[in-house]
A = this chain, B = another copy of it.
Amino acid sequence: MTRRPPRPRERGIPEATVARLPLYLRALQALDERGTPTVSSEELASVAGVNSAKLRKDLSHLGSYGTRGVGYDVEYLIYQISRELGLTQDWSVAIVGVGNLGRALANYGGFGTRGFRIAALLDADPAVVGDAVAGLRVGHIDSLEEVVAREHVSIGVIATPAAAAQGVCDRFVGAGVTSVLNFAPVVLNVPDGVDVRKVDLSIELQILAFHEQRKADGRGGPEWIEALEA
């Protein structure tokens, strides 16, 4: 029997932690550009807008990359978080639905700078297919499977109307894509092993409206400690 204790980076980072790692990464990159060599958990937490104990616990899931009495080496921590997030390799992204939103996404410069390459734009509308958008030619949706295979697409972005989203998703999954980012306001059904994340503007607005209403309601009411997030 082999030893149990020697597990340097046991697999199993809490989902809540994973969701914050990109935040820390961004804060660290800002510090790095400013030339800061090391940073304490207190400072970094302040920049990232979280509690410092939470930050330390989050980082402790990756390993012991800090130095007591000093803090964390900024560049080293950037590397470690990048590696953990899988940003040391490039990911190919295909965007389906080149309308208002799809075009904005395609023209967004912040993609490539973080290791995500827009490999293809696809649409069903003949009036759109063939257009040049952000230096790419829009392909026809029928070529999805071919494009996914050829470009090694691993992340599919859906920016079609809601009615078309499940169909596009199914084709992505059928073509072997196991990560989907969905902008359409529908719940996508996918088999186990496929990750779906959604960006849903209406939901965000409705959550804000809920709290806004509550602020207006509660005149003279008791305490209204709002959980803020940023």
Residues of chain B with a CB closer than 8 A to A179's CB: 208-209, 211-212
The answer for the CA separation of A91 and B115 in the assembled complex, in Å, is 38
A202 touches B114 (CB 8 A): yes
User: What is the interface size of chain A, counting residues whose CB is below 8 A from a CB of the partner?
Assistant: 75
A84 within 8 A of B: yes
User: Which candidate, A11-19, A69-77, A140-148, is the interface stretch facing chain B?
Assistant: A11-19
B47 near A187 with CB under 8 A, answer yes
Assess A201 versus B110: contact at CB under 8 Å? Given A87-B209, A178-B215. yes
Asked if A52 CB lies within 8 Å of chain B CBs, one says no
Interface stretch of the complex, out of A35-43, A119-127, A192-200: A192-200
- Selected from B154, B204, B213, B218, the residue in CB contact (under 8 A) with A181 is B204
**Residue A229 at the chain B interface, CB threshold 8 Å:** yes
A199: chain B residues at CB < 8 Å are: 199, 201, 204
| Docked pose: A209 CA to B188 CA in angstroms | 19
- Check if A49 is an interface residue, CB within 8 A of chain B: yes
Known contacts A87-B209, A230-B187; A202/B110 CB under 8 A = yes
Min CB gap A202→B, angstroms? 6
A198 CA / B228 CA spacing, docked (Å)? 11
Please tell me if the beta carbons of B228 and A212 are within 8 angstroms of each other in the complex.
Answer: no
Complex interface: chain B residues within 8 A of A25 (CB):
206
Q: Contacts of A103 on B, CB cut-off 8 Å?
A: 100, 104
| Top 6 closest pairs, chain A to chain B, by CB | A86-B213, A100-B104, A49-B187, A179-B208, A22-B206, A86-B209
Q: A114-B206, A115-B209 are in contact. List 15 more A-B contacts (CB 8 A).
A: A11-B218, A18-B207, A22-B206, A100-B103, A100-B104, A110-B185, A190-B228, A190-B230, A193-B224, A195-B208, A196-B229, A197-B204, A197-B207, A197-B229, A199-B204
6 contacts between A and B (CB under 8 A): A47-B187, A49-B189, A86-B209, A101-B104, A110-B201, A195-B208
